[in-house]
Amino acid sequence: MTTLLRTAAVLLATATAAVGLALPASAAPTAATAATAQAVAPRPCPRIVAVCAYTAAGALKLLFNDEPFIDPPIVWAANNTPDAWCFFSAPGFSGDSREVAPGETVENFGFDVLSARPDACM
């Protein structure tokens, strides 16, 4: 198993180096463009009927039902459900709220999300 992993790592490193050498110097990303690309890179989200959410630390959370207390709080969400979801800044579905439509992605709620439920915000 260890040999297989080492072989895969060597092949990946070789392929990465070959692609990097094949690019002309003008196509190579600079530090500024690499930082910009990383800042706008989409977060991986499984293609399932759920809300895909991330914490500030980058941990993935999947929401299927009412979540009266989310710990650690989430800061980013993509609604992959057919229903609107309401996200709240306090536990127990209270505090500031933000509705997220089906298919919508929110990169910054403006607050840490501590509870959420599948329903329109009232």
Q: What is the pLDDT along the chain (122 residues), one digit of tens a residue?
A: 444 444 443 334 333 333 343 444 444 445 544 444 445 567 888 889 999 999 999 999 999 999 999 999 999 999 999 999 999 999 999 999 999 999 999 999 999 999 999 999 98
CA distance 119 to 122: 9
CA distance 13 to 63: 36
What is the DSSP secondary structure assignment for residue 62, as one 8-state letter? E
Model pTM score: 0.67
The answer to whether the beta carbons of residues 88 and 94 sit under 8 Å apart is yes
* pLDDT, position 39: 53
CB within 8 Å of 68: residues ≥ 6 apart: 91, 92, 93, 115
Task: Return the bridge partners of 106, or none.
Answer: 77
